[in-house]
Amino acid sequence: MTATSAVHAGRITTNPTPPIDLSATYHLPGVDAGGESYAELVAGRGPTAEGGLVYQRMWNPTTAGFEQALAELEGLPEAVSFGSGMAAISACLLAATAVPAAGGKRHIVAVRPIYGGTDGLLSKGTLGTEVTWVDEVAGIAPALAARPDTALVVVETPANPTARLLDLDAVAAACGDVPFLVDSTFATPVLQQPARHGATLVVHSATKYIGGHSDVLGGVVATTAEWAARLRDIRIQTGALLHPLAGYLLHRGLQTLPLRVKRASETAQTVAEWLARQPAVERVHYPGLPGGDPDGLVGPDRQLLLPGAMMAFEMRGGYDAAAAVAENVRLILHAASLGGAESLITHPASLSHRNVAPDARPDAGLLRFSIGLEDAEDLVADLDTAFAKL
């Protein structure tokens, strides 16, 4: 994607700012026309010109503009937005397993590590799914061979919380005809477009980098027209829609996304190199460091344009040292989430991945670090002060 497309995608108005349509309901020009538009919307397609928009739960022009923009940036025909990243993931699982087109398949193959919320949703079987967990791409094909009723393969790259990279071309080869979903939240469309490597569904917790300011919740899925229709049908039935004001903020966030992601990635490289030199740090997980990109996936014309702004590091003192660092930083905010303008640090084993199975839970000494837009030297100074208190 280009900076130009980020600025202009999805904007069909001559005004620089798209209008915010807050209408909950719309005038129906006629019974038949309104009914036809309603039927098209229920089927997951757009409204008819004659029948109007009908009702916000089915369609909203503000959120539709954001969806169009995100789809364009991901190089896919359509996108469907939701009220949160977890609502987006849930809709994808339902679209893969619960609709008539799924053919009764209920099984999911998923590669760990993955976001703790997604891990919990799959492990608990809340949506009636079964899951086979694998640790490497090499485990996908055997898992599929053992379960021909698999509806979907779920991966995340860079993975939460360690920023581990998966080779998506290898994932596509292992999946064959089975569709696969990529949670690309850490990468954003700036660094990675999974559809170019065969992904059917590309998911973002738009709360993170796409919003970019820690002030809006949302999720979005870029996909094919067929899958988009399934997802819209589920969104109508479950009511997991994105509010128009949130859609406006997310669309606005796309305009500065390339600038923010590239600046934060540049800073992250500096901070990661400093962390790797610290005696108190056992290991730094970051694709930009030696050994962090074993498959050569980072670089121009590769899968991931830059190493990104997410990293994790393990303290030699285990939990006690990690907790001390998290509680003694001052400029860096000890808080959940990621991808905002401010740098955030969190302890996944106690928070986002608390309910992950013990054998798959992040190390107790590991901290996840989201690099923001501050100057690198200020972040280093803050960490140095916290380390000095160990």
Residues 283-298 have pLDDT tens digits of 999 999 999 999 999 9
The mean pLDDT of 327-352, rounded to a whole number, is: 95
Which residue in the block uniquely carries the two structure tokens 């992040």?
362
Q: Are residues 238 and 261 in the same domain?
A: no
- Say if residue 233 is in the same domain as residue 295: no
Q: What is the pLDDT of residues 93-140, one digit of tens each?
A: 999 998 666 667 899 999 999 999 999 999 999 999 999 999 999 999
Domain containing residue 269: CATH number: 3.90.1150.10
**Catalytic choice (208, 232, 283, 368):** 208
Decide if 208 is catalytic: yes
Closest CA relative to residue 250, chosen from 228, 271, 291, 219: 219
Q: Are residues 150 and 298 in the same domain?
A: no
Average pLDDT over residues 349-370: 89
52 plus 142 within the same structural domain = yes
Determine the Cα angle at 266 with ends 264 and 272, to 5°: 95
Q: DSSP readout, 108-120?
A: EEEESS--HHHHH
Q: Are residues 150 and 266 both part of a single domain? A: no
198-208, pLDDT tens digit by residue?
999 999 999 99
Of 192, 222, 254, the residue that ends a domain is 254
> Are 79 and 213 in the same domain?
yes
Same domain membership, residue 347 and residue 289: yes
From 57, 252, 263, 316, active-site residue: 57
Single out the residue in 196, 219, 254 at which a domain terminates. 254
Same domain (yes/no): 320, 246: no
Domain count, the chain: 2
> What is the Cα–Cα distance from 239 to 236, expressed in whole angstroms?
5
Are both 78 and 160 inside the same structural domain?
yes
Q: Which tens digit of pLDDT belongs to each residue from 62-105?
A: 999 999 999 999 999 999 999 999 999 999 999 999 866 666 78
What's this model's pTM, rounded to 2 decimal places? 0.95
pLDDT at 100: 65
Alpha carbon distance 278, 182 (integer Å): 34
Tokens of 281: 């740090």
Residues 228 and 274 in one domain: no
How far is it, in rounded angstroms, from Cα 287 to Cα 309?
Answer: 10
39 and 75 in a single domain? The answer is yes
Give catalytic status of residue 183 as yes or no.
yes
pLDDT at 310: 98
Domain coverage including residue 267? 257-388
CATH number at residue 151: 3.40.640.10
Average pLDDT over residues 25-30: 91
Question: What is the pLDDT, as a whole number, of residue 102?
Answer: 60
Span 340-349, pLDDT tens digits: 999 999 999 9
Among residues 119, 183, 233, 363, the one annotated as catalytic is 183
57 as an active site residue: the answer is: yes
What's the mean pLDDT in 366-387? 98
* pLDDT confidence of residue 356: 83
pLDDT tens digits, 235-291: 999 999 999 999 999 999 999 999 999 999 999 999 999 999 999 999 999 999 999
Of 26, 38, 115, 209, the active-site residue reads 115
Q: Using the 8-state DSSP alphabet, how is residue 46 labeled? A: P
What is the C-alpha to C-alpha distance for residues 306 and 342, in angstroms, rounded to an integer?
A: 20
Same domain, residue pair 270 and 238: no
Q: What angle do CA 349, 358, 322 make, to 5 degrees?
A: 25
Among 230, 254, 278, residue at a domain's last position: 254
Please check the confidence at residue 339 and state whether its pLDDT lies above 90. Answer: yes
Averaged confidence pLDDT in the chain: 94
Sort strands 180-183 and 150-156 into parallel, antiparallel or unpaired.
Answer: parallel
> Does the pLDDT value for residue 232 go beyond 90?
yes
Q: How confident is the model at residue 8 (pLDDT cuts 50, 70, 90)?
A: confident
Catalytic residue flag (residue 105) = no
